[in-house]
Chains A and B, each alone.
Chain A
């Protein structure tokens, strides 16, 4: 199958040549039609920059793609003319961001905003039909009394309702790709549960490939079939979401799972990762996780581990993960006390 979006070796830097800061470093992943890919990582790990750069949404300068390629439905975006890329972005990709208010127009009724998103990409439909379709979309995303609410303005809605409006706009043109970047981070858990359901339904209705970015492993576990774990601008591990969460191979993935409190864990089960994520200015040499890794060896500080396939369905970037008959495992001479 041709992936809806395929990112290969994407490398993105900020700043002037010679004094560049690498925000994204050799990231590779793809998402198939109808599939939900979860991208997880702590703040600053490059989750958003990867996607924004891939879809040509980062202003350049200061951003620069220095390596890699991005294909949308098998077509290289870099070789397409700017107009075509804009068209794909507007019609075939739906965006849902963390803060819904910034993606809505404060002086336009929400019904008109949704209708406009339709009219822009389908000149033949006409405003009247578009408005009717807007009302349909609003009820699809679970807004009660859509006809009345369509005449209201964004500021009259709660954060959860605004996010529903954004989702309605995102799916208005039956996108091929849905990108949800921390869509529920600003919301209460009860509202988060509603919005995740709406995103799931929206995806089922449209059959769009979905990329869900979150720092919350629980959200990813509930929603995604595949997972990509990012750290310091690189992919550390990727594979089937359930497998990775149950049997992480990369030390960072394992550490991330062990430090996250869950509704089953006791205080003693929560193991912090020592230190903190590196800033772009002081990226560690070798494996970017090595200053915090309890399994690090001398080689980890000097050589960047290759991102490679382990077994049929897993990719890992660690010197000490080996392929075995059951899949893979971490084999290190001895753990050190970090």
Chain B
């Protein structure tokens, strides 16, 4: 797998940044078998995540963006070790947790938590808020006398009145449920939380509340986060770093300001251009409208995976996969003809 080393080389440019990374994935790959169970036929594989490398800085928010099916959730679930990676390394606190067994994972689960898009699915409807918040404390053996003050603290942090503590999830709105899910993830003071589309199902007024809440929590606790989203305007507002995925591969990555300020990959440019702008008068730039749909991840295009929709594609794009290469500003792009 010589791609990995070249990616590593790219990221190695700024070593002191790396020093401050709390989490780092290198060459992360996850293939799912789509087992057709036909005699004599080899199994088919979906390359959901293919050779992904990035680092999450302490107190920072790294966003993962991309279209549906690009592999965002799979990256998140793999890092949280809810899934086992096919290959690659997940470096946390200097240890590779990619392949460690269930027993060693207990320590990791304390430090890396995940919050999902749909709080209904992640909150047990038969448990009260108190029970929901207690559960992680019990699992991770917090001293009993600390449960009560911790729950009060958590409710305070996520902006829910203490009087709600004996209510059940169905008695809350979507935004409040997401607050409960966030409080639950925060309960045992993890170092990293992976948020998978945490505001996508919420109304815009409530979405703004949650975004501000996450920002405040991060400032107060020094939490590092991975924020998975398909909404570029949200990502632009809250992320420090961004990784753009397409069919499981990193197309472009770098500091938010860099990436949104001067996107270099055609796919990133198209994504940014496709966001509908609120003020017509101000947005005079010609829009880039991509042709066609995302190809099937089970059968990705040869060479550059984006080539079937890329307006800059040349012959070489079909035969040679571009490598992810970085510059001094930690801005990485995988394209034969970047801007």
Spell out A's residues near B (CB within 8 Å).
42-43, 144, 158, 160-161, 188-194, 196-197, 215-219, 221-222, 242, 245-246, 255-257, 259-267, 269-274, 276-277, 292
Contacts and interface: CB of A to CB of B under 8 A. Distances in A.
B67 A188 contact: yes
Given A218-B278, A260-B208, A267-B211, 9 more contacts: A188-B67, A189-B275, A197-B289, A222-B277, A222-B280, A257-B278, A271-B208, A274-B209, A292-B205
Interface residues of B, number: 44
Contacts of A273: 205, 208-209
A263 B280 contact: no
Contact of B274 (A161, A192, A257): A192
Contacts of B234: 261
Given A197-B289, A270-B212, A215 B279 contact: no
B308 to A, nearest CB: 12
Contacts of B215: 267
Interface of B: 67-68, 173, 175-176, 203-209, 211-212, 215, 230-234, 236-238, 260, 270-282, 287, 289-294
Contact of A188 (B68, B176, B208, B291): B68
B270 A190 contact: yes
Nearest to A271: B208
A216 B203 CA distance: 10
4 tightest Cβ-Cβ pairs between the two chains A and B: A218-B276, A272-B208, A273-B205, A259-B208
Contact of A193 (B203, B236, B290): B290
Contact of B277 (A191, A257, A263): A263
B204 A215 contact: yes
A218 B204 CA distance: 12
Of B173, B233, B238, B276, most buried by chain A (CB within 10 Å of CB) is B276
17 contacts: A42-B204, A43-B203, A189-B275, A193-B290, A215-B203, A218-B277, A245-B278, A246-B281, A261-B231, A261-B234, A262-B233, A262-B277, A263-B232, A263-B277, A265-B237, A272-B212, A273-B208
Contact of B237 (A158, A161, A257, A267): A267
A274 B159 CA distance: 11
Nearest to B275: A263
A259 B205 CA distance: 6
Given A189-B274, A270-B237, A194 B289 contact: yes
Contacts, number: 127
Nearest to B210: A272
Contact of A245 (B173, B232, B279, B287): B279
Given A189-B271, A193-B287, A263-B272, A221 B279 contact: yes
A48 to B, nearest CB: 15
A267 B280 CA distance: 22
Contacts of B290: 190, 193-194
Main secondary structure of the interface of A (DSSP, over half): helix
Of B68, B208, B230, most buried by chain A (CB within 10 Å of CB) is B208
Contacts of A222: 276-277, 280
Contacts of A160: 293
B293 A272 contact: no
Given A42-B203, A272-B208, A261 B67 contact: no
A147 B294 CA distance: 22
Contacts of B67: 188-191
A277 B203 contact: yes
A218 B273 CA distance: 12
A238 to B, nearest CB: 18
A217 B278 contact: yes
A259 B293 contact: no
Contacts of B173: 276
Nearest to A188: B67
B204 A260 contact: yes
A158 B293 contact: yes
A265 B277 CA distance: 11
Given A188-B68, A190-B270, A194-B289, A260 B237 contact: no
Contact of A191 (B204, B275, B293): B293
Nearest to A197: B289
A261 B212 contact: no
Contacts of A43: 203
Contacts of B68: 188
A259 B280 contact: no
B20 to A, nearest CB: 21
A276 B270 CA distance: 34
Contacts of A292: 205
Given A158-B293, A189-B232, A267-B215, A242 B281 contact: yes
Nearest to A255: B205
